[in-house]
Amino acid sequence: MFDVFGSVKGLLKLDSVCIDNNVFRLHYKATVIILIAFSLLVTSRQYIGDPIDCIVDEIPLAVMDTYCWIYSTFTIPNRLVGRVGQDMVQPGVASHVDGQDEVKYHKYYQWVCFVLFFQAILFYVPRYLWKTWEGGRIKMLVLDLNCPVVGEDCKADRKKLLVDYFHTNLHTQNFYAFRFFICEVLNFINVVGQIFFMDFFLDGEFSTYGRDVVRFTEMEPEEREDPMARVFPKVTKCTFHKYGPSGTVQKFDGLCVLPLNIVNEKIYVFLWFWFVILSVLSGISLLYRMAVVAGPRVRLYLLRARSRLAPQEQVETVARKLQIGDWFVLYQLGKNIDPLIYKELMGELSEKFEGKDTV
């Protein structure tokens, strides 16, 4: 079965240079992998079985299967609670009166695999934008300094290039940083927007789906209504019409089994919790980002934490000179450069900036 997920392997590869942060990677790596894996799982009929199996008298099974798959099946919402085998055949499957009993059609199950893949693409869009805007700047600046074994001459040359870069481009990198912040906002908008999109896709059922499932497990068996059976019924009804011998329209009610919904119900329970957690983390990340942009003291504290081997006086000297864009580039370099080399870089930057003050 693992050959199904071969196309996802490329997303598991670690980048040699880090140009974002952990929350950002949850969006374009973890979530994209999850959504593509689920999409492949749903489309792999060889592991799950036929997507639909219908039974009805006088109609060939293949015809009924195809018809009900195309034109969708339905359940009776007011027959979801009761005793299976006595009050109803299955939850939501019972006799009904046309025009009186509410009928709910389930059309979305045939689109699940496409929607999941489309969602994966949307989660990758902010990453694509940031890679395009970033243009390989951090990778170019890191050079070979992410390797602890670097020749002294090479290391000295690389550090001098970095010091000269910051001296020359001081206060000119704000636009670079704010483009990353825009992508962080896009991540948050995307995940919240996708919650609303899935709620629309599932006829208003997704927004409370996970909470309803948890509540369902805590209720007494005779009182509870299974939200998974309501949203992703495993057995449904399908009505087929054809002309009889006398030319009158005949109506045939069939029962349809939807094996795919066994998987779909679990997928969307997981996605509900995952998207809620991701939304909260993304919101916290935005609050953190606003604090970083608005608070020089916050930036100083973070730079101290990143360059903990360097003397605090040197870090403070450097931090006083940096605007948000300069700070962001230097902080990103700290994620990729060996800590000992980063300490030396902070010392040389401090000397450079102090020398500039005395001119």
**pLDDT tens across 285-320, in order?**
999 999 999 999 999 999 999 998 888 999 999 999
User: Structurally, how many domains does the chain consist of?
Assistant: 1
Q: Comparing C-alpha atoms, which of 27, 206, 223 is closest to residue 126?
A: 27
CA dist 65 and 271 (Å) reads 29
The verdict on residue 18 lying in a domain is yes
CA 271 from centre of chain: 9
The verdict on residue 50 lying in a domain is yes
pLDDT of the residue at 4: 46
Q: Comparing C-alpha atoms, which of 324, 289, 285, 286 is closest to residue 175?
A: 324
Q: What's the domain range around 129?
A: 2-294
Q: Specify which residues 252 forms β-bridges with.
A: 240
The verdict on residue 310 lying in a domain is no
pLDDT tens for the chain, residues 1 to 359: 445 455 456 666 777 889 999 999 999 999 999 999 999 888 886 456 678 888 887 788 888 888 888 888 888 777 666 666 666 667 767 666 666 667 788 788 788 889 999 999 999 999 999 999 999 999 999 887 777 666 777 788 888 999 999 999 999 999 999 999 999 999 999 999 999 999 999 888 898 888 888 888 776 655 566 788 788 888 888 888 777 777 777 788 888 888 888 888 899 999 999 999 999 999 999 999 999 999 999 999 999 999 988 889 999 999 999 999 999 999 999 999 888 889 999 999 999 888 754 33
Residue 102's SS3 state is coil
pLDDT of the residue at 89: 67
The verdict on residue 210 lying in a domain is yes
CA dist 164 and 181 (Å) reads 26
The H or E element containing residue 101 is: none
pLDDT of the residue at 276: 96
Detail the DSSP E strand segments found in the chain. 53-55, 73-75, 104-106, 235-243, 249-257
pLDDT of the residue at 359: 35
pLDDT of the residue at 46: 47
Rounded mean pLDDT of the chain?
A: 85
The verdict on residue 315 lying in a domain is no
The verdict on residue 357 lying in a domain is no
pLDDT of the residue at 335: 92
C-alpha triplet 334, 144, 177: angle, nearest 5°: 40
pLDDT of the residue at 263: 87
Residue 104's SS3 state is strand
The verdict on residue 335 lying in a domain is no
What residues contact 243, with CB distance under 8 A and at least 6 apart? 249, 250
| pLDDT tens digits along 213-246 | 888 877 665 556 678 878 888 888 888 877 777 7
What residues contact 248, with CB distance under 8 A and at least 6 apart? none
The structure tokens listed for 308 are: 């903990």
The structure tokens listed for 88 are: 């109803």
- Side by side, which strands form the sheet with 235-243? 53-55, 249-257, 235-243, 73-75, 104-106
The verdict on residue 233 lying in a domain is yes
CA dist 274 and 279 (Å) reads 9
